Chain A
Amino acid sequence: MGTDLRLDSVSATMILVITGIGALIHVYAIGYMAGDPRYGRFFSYMNLFVFFMLMLVLGANYLVLYLGWEGVGLCSYLLIGFWSDVPANAEAAKKAFITTRIGDTLMLVGLALIVFRFGTLDFEAVFGAAGTVLTKDAATAIALLLFAGAIGKSAQVPLHVWLPDAMAGPTPVSALIHAATMVTAGVYLVVRSHVLFELSGVALTVVLVVGVVTAVFAATCAVAQQDIKRVLAYSTISQLGFMFMAAGMRAYGVAMFFLVAHAFYKALLFLGAGSVIHGMHDEQDLRRMGGLRRLLPITFATFLVGALAQAGIPPLAGFFAKDAVLEVAQHTGRAAVYALGSIAAFLSAFYLGRVLFLTFFGEPRSDRARDAHEAPPVLWVPLAVLAVGAATAGWLTLTPEGRLTGFLEGITGPTPAGQGVAVAALAAVATVISLVALASTWWIYGSGRVDWVGFRERLEPLPRAALNGWYVDRAYDTALVQPAKAGAWITAYVLDARIIDGAVNAIGGGVKLLADGGRHLQTGFVRSYALAVFLGAVTILVYVGVRS
């Protein structure tokens, strides 16, 4: 126990992602944040985040992990609200912090249960003894409580609501914390604790269901977003769902592989979006973009790589990653998972195609789009490097000896195998799905033959509902937030202010009166003092006399 650290294949993979992508994003931020009055503070927060993130993945026990876990939560809060002079940003930061705290609190209960059962938080000790110490029910309880933490941190349904709002932070923050690293901590937690999840079985099913639901649900939301960063935020939630999907099927190596691939292309997409926003003078609305491929050629090229990678076009990273998940689902006989995963994949190709065509093709739809300018090298060099990564990260699985999953096998166990349709056929189907999705987006948004604005209006109220995340936020507000606020108001202004404070003030006033009275007894005359002494003496004597 204590502050032990541990380096194994899983944490090594995480470290490489954090430091590698983190370094590129830092370089990018040099340009992106230039001129900000709190430039220094931004980088100190970012580095504090990297410190806590490394602590999280390097800890050899749940205590260190938890410290890192809370530390990254704090940094996330500080960075989302970095431009806190806009009240909405501060609100978003609070929302992110409080929402994840719900998961964190449950996770803390889970850790307490582990201490209670095992007397230690050390990974080796807990996983070694888990089989003998835990009953199935106890394992389920612990695993689900830990998973609650993961749900909060990785923005899974039903605690996903904070991540779209977290886009209020500077774009490098979104890329590093809310795409590549922090939000994947939940995946890391599940992979790290897979022994406990497997002991339970039920917990794994929950992970799978949450992953599938999130992947599809978030993808539907992403399709309707108007803000380029919110599209990517919902996209991230959806992709994290894929990772949990893999983990829920015991394919932890695949989950980690997905994590690595996703880190590359999602960071790339976010930074590309940042470059667009930068070039358009802080414009984020897709409806005011268009035709930017001529003005921002490098950004366009790199963004295209990222989008195609996530859409699942071979041989880019996303193709292999998504394919691996669907392959496991198909081969282990989970047809429903396979079908829903394919739908999510279709939607993800669709919304990325939408972003791509609305942003870079067609005619500029605003003055800002017409005046946009290409990013300086300090912004596009990291983009280029990430584009190379996003293009090639998938090859990690190509050769048997180079497989990332093989490297991780010592910790995660082998990827479940089974009988099913040939891998090549699955790949072909997936590619076709992606191509169809991209083609339909070209037809709707790129060809100019469809009035996509009118099309959207004809579909109302569906797009509006999807834009608003299917009103989950509003439901939470009505069902939970407002009653809680009302309760807090009653506690603060009725119970505390009137009843408790009133009582305290009354007592205080009474005591003060008594004090003044007592002060008047202190006349300053010796004879009065002597009388008090005498009074006390006689009182004691009478008491003793009466008693005996």
Chain B
Amino acid sequence: MIPTPALEFRPILPEILLCTFAIVGMLYEAFARRPDPVPHLAIAIVGIGPAAVTAYALWDWSGPSYVLGDTVAVDRFSVVSRFVLLGAAFVGCLYYTHYASRDPGSFRGEFYPLTLFATAGMTLITAANDLIVIFLALELLSLSLYVLTGITGRRRASEAAMKYFLLGAFSSAFFLYGVAMAYGAATSTKIVGVAAPGIVQALAGQTGSQALALLAMALLVVGFAFKVSAAPFHMWTPDVYQGAPTPVVAFMGAATKVAAFFALIRVFDVGLQPLTWDWTPVIYGLAVVSIVVGSVVAIAQRDVKRLLAYSSIAHAGFILTGLTAANSTGIGAAMFYLVAYAVVTLGAFGIVMLVSARGEEQTSLDAYAGLARRSPGLAALMTVFLLSLGGIPPTAGFIAKVTVFSAAIGAGNWPLAVVGVVASVVAAYFYVRVIVYMYMREPAEGIESDDGVMPRIAAGVLAAGIVVLGIFPGILTGILEPASIVRW
């Protein structure tokens, strides 16, 4: 009799719900006489809402910590990530609904199912306790995002999708090779094994091969660094951010980073915990390069979407800064940063979408000239987001930067914090430049404006969240504290 693992599906109910309603969406798209964005949005919300409820039910989970043959972990860490990701998916769908109504010619109903599939991959990757599941989830989210990038079929978008796909496949190869090496080192792909020893047990017990483990570590870093767009694995980011439809970028920029970082934290801070002294320098180096490259090259950008892409590279560096502290302080700091970053990214790209107008013609800085005069509300919201990206109080971005820097300093990496602070000063230049354009330049002629109400409300709520978190960070840290203790 072959022993079979218990079938405990409750911990993956969010993913099951997302996939189910993704399929429902596909069926609607296939059978509806004339698919419309609104029913699509309704289906997506019906998937996302209950997924969030079932995720919340896991907050006080009393069952086993690892289920389904030790492939999925059940902890508060993954609950937090699910909430952020589901929120990002919701806002993304909201944006796209407006985007589609503005430009019906480019509407593709598949957006919603693909977003749900991508979200399922993302939530799964943060809960996965098995490198194979992580890889599959990574592919699931990547594949969905490649298609989402090119979903409008515009030339630019198709080119971006192609680039993203080729480079993503390339980095996935490294990742997969890393998984193989990890198996070679530990004869297991489980991060933490209950039934049989997992990677962390093998490495802690020195039963595995140290050399292969290090090789695995280096290769896995490549895969993750590509996904979080850390330099020098960042080259795809500006092209994809610029080419992809803005609602997709909003969702992708916020959610991919969250998902990939949460997975990275689990693999490195849990699975490769015995190798802490070997991987922190690598993270350190990536952080320095990302911060410098992101902050410096952004200065030369005149397209706001590209600018935000480079900004996202620098932010990846800042989050890595927090992770150089391989303890719950560093993890908590990175989580706070990720939540703040996700909120800001969603908001900022919402504004970019509204400014860019039909066909995404207006994404250059010139389109922002005099925005405060044309639509003062948008300019004010954008200002809040830019200030948060720049890490200026009283926004969540400021608290986030302070926490990652103090975590790095606490781990003795003060030079990294110095680099971060200097780069923040450099970065302030290009964030403030956008504000200057919005408030102190004369509006250009012939700028089309978009008066969508729903994205405005969404961005307004996000901006309010940013300010509230900037003034009362305790609201979030209180939640993150019990979630940031991931251990085996």
Query: Quick check: B219 and A537 within 8 Å, CB to CB?
Result: yes
CA–CA, A541 and B225, complex, Å: 14
A519 contact set on B, CB distance < 8 A:
297, 300-301
Query: Quick check: A540 and B222 within 8 Å, CB to CB?
Result: yes
Query: Quick check: A522 and B296 within 8 Å, CB to CB?
Result: no
CA–CA, A544 and B212, complex, Å: 11
- Contacts of A361-417 to chain B: CB distance below 8 A: none
CA–CA, A435 and B236, complex, Å: 98
Chain B, 259-302, contact with A by CB distance < 8 Å: what is the 0/1 string? Answer: 00000000000000000001001100100000001001111110
Verify if A452 is at the interface (C-beta below 8 Å from B).
no
If A511-B296, A530-B167, A544-B218 touch, whether A522 touches B238 (CB-CB below 8 Å) is yes
A535 contact set on B, CB distance < 8 A:
232
CA–CA, A516 and B238, complex, Å: 15
CA–CA, A512 and B300, complex, Å: 7
CA–CA, A91 and B161, complex, Å: 66
Query: Quick check: A548 and B238 within 8 Å, CB to CB?
Result: no
Query: Quick check: A544 and B232 within 8 Å, CB to CB?
Result: no
A449 contact set on B, CB distance < 8 A:
none
Query: Quick check: A544 and B236 within 8 Å, CB to CB?
Result: no
Verify if A478 is at the interface (C-beta below 8 Å from B).
no
If A532-B232, A544-B282 touch, whether A526 touches B167 (CB-CB below 8 Å) is yes
Query: Quick check: A536 and B222 within 8 Å, CB to CB?
Result: yes
Closest A residue to B216 by beta carbon equals A544
Interface of B is mostly: helix
Q: Of the candidates B166, B221, B233, B299, which one forms a contact with A511 in the assembled complex, judged by CB atoms under 8 Å apart?
A: B299
A508 contact set on B, CB distance < 8 A:
429
Verify if B409 is at the interface (C-beta below 8 Å from A).
no
Verify if A454 is at the interface (C-beta below 8 Å from B).
no
Chain A, 511-547, contact with B by CB distance < 8 Å: what is the 0/1 string? Answer: 1101110110010101011101111110011011101
CA–CA, A519 and B299, complex, Å: 9
Verify if B217 is at the interface (C-beta below 8 Å from A).
yes
Query: Quick check: B282 and A543 within 8 Å, CB to CB?
Result: yes
Verify if B163 is at the interface (C-beta below 8 Å from A).
yes
In whole Å, how far is B54's beta carbon from the nearest beta carbon of chain A? Answer: 37
CA–CA, A516 and B166, complex, Å: 26
| Count of inter-chain pairs, beta carbons less than 8 A | 87
Query: Quick check: A515 and B232 within 8 Å, CB to CB?
Result: no
Query: Quick check: A533 and B163 within 8 Å, CB to CB?
Result: no
Q: Of the candidates A515, A516, A522, A533, which one forms a contact with B170 in the assembled complex, judged by CB atoms under 8 Å apart?
A: A533
A548 contact set on B, CB distance < 8 A:
210-211, 214, 278
Query: Quick check: A514 and B221 within 8 Å, CB to CB?
Result: no
A534 contact set on B, CB distance < 8 A:
170
If A544-B218, A548-B211 touch, whether A533 touches B233 (CB-CB below 8 Å) is yes
In whole Å, how far is B185's beta carbon from the nearest beta carbon of chain A? Answer: 12
Query: Quick check: A536 and B232 within 8 Å, CB to CB?
Result: yes
Verify if B174 is at the interface (C-beta below 8 Å from A).
yes
Verify if B23 is at the interface (C-beta below 8 Å from A).
no
- Contacts of B204-231 to chain A: CB distance below 8 A: 210-211, 214-215, 217-219, 221-222, 225-226, 231
Query: Quick check: A537 and B300 within 8 Å, CB to CB?
Result: no
CA–CA, A548 and B235, complex, Å: 30
B281 contact set on A, CB distance < 8 A:
543, 547
Q: Of the candidates A512, A524, A526, which one forms a contact with B166 in the assembled complex, judged by CB atoms under 8 Å apart?
A: A526
Query: Quick check: B163 and A526 within 8 Å, CB to CB?
Result: yes
Query: Quick check: B300 and A518 within 8 Å, CB to CB?
Result: yes
In whole Å, how far is A541's beta carbon from the nearest beta carbon of chain B? Answer: 5
Chain A, 294-327, contact with B by CB distance < 8 Å: what is the 0/1 string? Answer: 0000000000000000000000000000000000
CA–CA, A533 and B167, complex, Å: 8
Query: Quick check: B278 and A533 within 8 Å, CB to CB?
Result: no
A516 contact set on B, CB distance < 8 A:
300
B214 contact set on A, CB distance < 8 A:
544-545, 547-548
B236 contact set on A, CB distance < 8 A:
529
- Contacts of B181-222 to chain A: CB distance below 8 A: 210-211, 214-215, 217-219, 221-222
Query: Quick check: A537 and B299 within 8 Å, CB to CB?
Result: no
Give the interface size bracket for B toward A: 35 or more
Query: Quick check: A515 and B163 within 8 Å, CB to CB?
Result: no
CA–CA, A536 and B224, complex, Å: 12
In whole Å, how far is A536's beta carbon from the nearest beta carbon of chain B? Answer: 4
Closest B residue to A530 by beta carbon equals B170
A530 contact set on B, CB distance < 8 A:
166-167, 170
CA–CA, A524 and B243, complex, Å: 12
Q: Of the candidates B167, B217, B218, B297, which one forms a contact with A515 in the assembled complex, judged by CB atoms under 8 Å apart?
A: B297
Verify if B360 is at the interface (C-beta below 8 Å from A).
no
In whole Å, how far is A330's beta carbon from the nearest beta carbon of chain B? Answer: 62
CA–CA, A548 and B226, complex, Å: 24
B210 contact set on A, CB distance < 8 A:
548
Verify if B426 is at the interface (C-beta below 8 Å from A).
yes
CA–CA, A526 and B236, complex, Å: 8
A524 contact set on B, CB distance < 8 A:
239
In whole Å, how far is B98's beta carbon from the nearest beta carbon of chain A? Answer: 30
Query: Quick check: A540 and B218 within 8 Å, CB to CB?
Result: yes
CA–CA, A536 and B167, complex, Å: 13
Query: Quick check: A541 and B167 within 8 Å, CB to CB?
Result: no
Q: Of the candidates B167, B170, B221, B296, which one forms a contact with A518 in the assembled complex, judged by CB atoms under 8 Å apart?
A: B296
CA–CA, A67 and B111, complex, Å: 60
In whole Å, how far is A508's beta carbon from the nearest beta carbon of chain B? Answer: 8
Closest B residue to A512 by beta carbon equals B299
Closest B residue to A516 by beta carbon equals B300
Verify if B171 is at the interface (C-beta below 8 Å from A).
yes
Query: Quick check: B232 and A533 within 8 Å, CB to CB?
Result: yes
Query: Quick check: B235 and A515 within 8 Å, CB to CB?
Result: no
CA–CA, A516 and B217, complex, Å: 34
Query: Quick check: B296 and A529 within 8 Å, CB to CB?
Result: no
Closest A residue to B298 by beta carbon equals A515
CA–CA, A524 and B240, complex, Å: 11
CA–CA, A535 and B293, complex, Å: 15
If A522-B235, A522-B238, A541-B215 touch, whether A536 touches B293 (CB-CB below 8 Å) is no
In whole Å, how far is B241's beta carbon from the nearest beta carbon of chain A? Answer: 12
B211 contact set on A, CB distance < 8 A:
548
B235 contact set on A, CB distance < 8 A:
522, 528-529, 532-533
CA–CA, A528 and B239, complex, Å: 13
In whole Å, how far is B149's beta carbon from the nearest beta carbon of chain A? Answer: 14
Closest A residue to B223 by beta carbon equals A537
In whole Å, how far is A514's beta carbon from the nearest beta carbon of chain B? Answer: 5
In whole Å, how far is B316's beta carbon from the nearest beta carbon of chain A? Answer: 13
CA–CA, A285 and B226, complex, Å: 83
Closest B residue to A531 by beta carbon equals B235
The winner among B170, B219, B300 for most chain A CB atoms within 10 A is B300
A sample of 9 inter-chain contacts (CB < 8 A) reads A514-B297, A515-B297, A515-B300, A522-B238, A526-B167, A533-B232, A533-B233, A541-B218, A543-B282
Besides the known contacts A522-B297, A548-B214, 6 further A-B residue pairs in the complex with CB atoms under 8 A apart: A524-B239, A533-B167, A540-B218, A541-B219, A548-B211, A548-B278
Please provide the 10 A-B residue pairs with the shortest distance between their CB atoms, ordered closest to farther: A518-B297, A529-B235, A515-B300, A515-B299, A536-B232, A519-B300, A537-B222, A544-B218, A540-B218, A532-B232
